[in-house]
Structure 1
Amino acid sequence: MEVSSRLQSLLRPLLLCRSCAAGRAFQTLALRSPPPPPPPPPRPPSSFLLRTRRLRPPHPYGAPSRLLFHRPFASVSPAPAPVPGRDHLNSKDQGPPLPPAPLPPPPPEELASEDESYYHEHLLEVAQENQSRVVPVKAFFLCTSIDLRSLQSQNSFNVIPPTSRATNYVVLRYYDVKGDPEGFKSGVIDESHCHYMVVFQYGSIVLFNVSDHEADGYLKIVEKHASGLLPEMRKDDYAVVEKPTLETWMQGGLDYIVLRDLSIDGIRTIGSVLGQSIALDYYIRQVDGMVAEFTDINRGMEKTGTFTMERKKLFQLVGKANSNLADVILKLGLFERSDIAWKNANYAQIWEYLRDEYELTQRFGNLDFKLKFVEHNIRFLQEILQNRKSDFLEWLIIILISVEILISVYNIIQEQM
């Protein structure tokens, strides 16, 4: 017992020294260890990039400058990704923030669709600012002839009675019952729910206040009475802004016209010019094809020095050129002034403005010049074919005379023998 008590008394100071040394070691490690890392900084919010789209330059003939403005489009680009291994650093060690990622350029077809949608949105904004109504107008060239009598007989309820002696077109009105059922029942017609269709005998159709997805339904109504349907239908877009507070009777714009009031006579006047324009575009393309064909013939004659066209093919080209010229002058009535324009000076102003806007006179002048070129080539080729025929007849006569001489010589020889 005494031995064990002595051993404990000797070992106790050694154990106390070791525990003190260990404590001091832990304190030293605690003082030398770095402080805990600060919490990571909050992620910066996504940055916005603004792109500005500009409208086309203003129209040189009286386009209102207040309608041309810049419209910002906001597109969100993703925030820069955090760099690994930098979250534990202090704010002093962090570099400058990364720039936002650039936006890829949109494809051309998306730009075209955006331009068209932006044009319609621009018109709607103009209408809301001026407390006016935008009426979209669509012109189609469907075929070469339409039977107006059968069209009127099957749609007599929708036909608007004519106010002039013109018989080459008919105006039909349709009401959107789903859009305004109460007004239809009460008999109070709201013009914003009325759809108008102007059908011309030469194949043009002009729709007023009809959306794109509804246009096919109206065209199918006319297709039942059409003949000579085209493989590719022509289309043209326009717009009418109805502004009751307009100081003047009308005001021109870029692909639209501002009117104080859009009446049935205004629809007839605008429809007549748009129908002629879209039809004239079709005939110009037809004549361009003939010019290209004669150009190829002339180049072939230049290289080979011979002419190989058949007489039947040439006569077909002659008939096509004459029929195109007759259709433009007689069917379209390109130089006939509208009866409504004769009676009212206000509608005459609209008629003249639209004809200048669509350059109908200049375009017909170009068409007439091309037709004269075609006629000159036709006359030249006809002379070549006529000379060929004359040469053939001359050789045939020579051969017949030679045969007759041979027969006479043979008979003389037989008589002498």
Structure 2
Amino acid sequence: MKANVIAYHLEKRLDLNVIRTLFPNLSIVKREHTFLLYEIEDDSYLYIKDYGSIVFFNCSEEFKNVTISSIASKEIQPESLPSESYSLSIGSETDVDFNTIKVKELNVDTIHVVCLNLGQSVALMNYVDKTSDLHDKTLVYSKQLEHTGNFKLTKKQMRKFIGKTMNLKNNIAEDLFVFEAPEVAWNVKELSLLDYKLRDELDVVKRHQGIENSLNVIKENLDLFRDILNHKYSSMLEWIIIILILLEVVQIFF
């Protein structure tokens, strides 16, 4: 048996209680407060993670399009979303390599581990894009500072940048527990091996660390910009005070 597994990220959090009302006729084979796993038909599954990932296991193109549009509450072309695709087959050993997954046995727990890892991977893609966007914007001001000794950034814009950076860090911390194996893999050797190989192939931990490092660099740059702005406004205030004092002195003597 061969199955195509493809994950998408909707770039927003999902309310699983609302999601359940969208698919009343589908059978839930596994669920927790952070995910739902539906069985569509034999060897066909839908996995939905609350941080915005949707994973289709051996589903038709029509079902994918309808499901994504239903969950997003608008028509969306799947090609426009962050995605990750793998081919899964049953073999004599567990292995993950070059967009191919091999497992000894296919069951709900195996599908859960595969879908969770692909769901995390596409979520990381979304966070990488957002981090890159923030970095590119701060780079503009860094270049202005390098070439002119100044930059065109107000205190309000600065606060917005800092807020976006901190919110992104908080979202990652809240959504992605990348250093923990799924609970289902803790006591089953083959599932633990599958989880390890998927994480290694997808570079989940390294990519997560890369995002954290990039956000720290962005925050350091913003802190520097803020210090420069504060010094600039402080100097301006000092000059205003000096001018007011001079005006008072002039009025006294003249």
Normalization by structure 2: what TM-score?
Answer: 0.90
Instruction: Tell me the residue number matched to 1:196.
Output: 45
Deviation at 1:218, TM superposition (A): 2.0
Deviation at 1:231, TM superposition (A): 11
Task: Give yes or no for contact 1:329–1:335 (8 Å, CA) kept in 2.
Answer: no
Deviation at 1:159, TM superposition (A): 4.1
User: Which structure 2 residues correspond to residues 337-356 of structure 1 after superposition, within 5 A?
Assistant: 337-356=181-200
User: Which structure 2 residues correspond to residues 7-406 of structure 1 after superposition, within 5 A?
Assistant: 133-162=1-30, 166-175=32-41, 191=42, 194-224=43-73, 232-243=80-91, 246=92, 248=93, 250-406=94-250
Structure with more contact order per residue of length (Cα contacts < 8 Å, sep ≥ 6): 2
Task: Give yes or no for contact 2:6–2:85 (8 Å, CA) kept in 1.
Answer: yes
State the alpha-carbon separation in 2 of the partners of residues 275 and 314 from structure 1.
33
State the alpha-carbon separation in 2 of the partners of residues 271 and 174 from structure 1.
15
Task: Give yes or no for contact 1:328–1:334 (8 Å, CA) kept in 2.
Answer: no
SS at match of 1:172: strand
Task: Give yes or no for contact 2:29–2:39 (8 Å, CA) kept in 1.
Answer: no
Q: Is 2:251 the partner of 1:407?
A: yes
Percent identity of paired positions between Structure 1 and Structure 2: 23
Task: Give yes or no for contact 1:160–1:171 (8 Å, CA) kept in 2.
Answer: yes
Deviation at 1:161, TM superposition (A): 4.6
Task: Give yes or no for contact 2:88–2:101 (8 Å, CA) kept in 1.
Answer: yes
Which one has a bigger Cα radius of gyration?
A: 1
How many residues matched?
Answer: 253
Deviation at 1:262, TM superposition (A): 1.3
State the alpha-carbon separation in 2 of the partners of residues 220 and 173 from structure 1.
19
Deviation at 1:264, TM superposition (A): 0.9
Deviation at 1:299, TM superposition (A): 1.7
Higher helix proportion:
2
SS at match of 2:67: helix
Instruction: Tell me the residue number matched to 1:58.
Output: none
SS at match of 1:376: helix
Question: What is the RMSD computed on CA atoms of the aligned residues?
Answer: 2.4
Task: Give yes or no for contact 1:171–1:198 (8 Å, CA) kept in 2.
Answer: yes
Task: Give yes or no for contact 1:142–1:204 (8 Å, CA) kept in 2.
Answer: yes
* Structure 2: unaligned runs, 5 residues or longer: none
Task: Give yes or no for contact 1:196–1:209 (8 Å, CA) kept in 2.
Answer: yes
State the alpha-carbon separation in 2 of the partners of residues 402 and 231 from structure 1.
66
SS at match of 2:206: helix
Normalization by structure 1: what TM-score?
Answer: 0.57
State the alpha-carbon separation in 2 of the partners of residues 219 and 262 from structure 1.
25
Task: Give yes or no for contact 2:29–2:38 (8 Å, CA) kept in 1.
Answer: no
Task: Give yes or no for contact 1:321–1:371 (8 Å, CA) kept in 2.
Answer: yes
Task: Give yes or no for contact 1:141–1:235 (8 Å, CA) kept in 2.
Answer: yes
Task: Give yes or no for contact 1:159–1:170 (8 Å, CA) kept in 2.
Answer: no
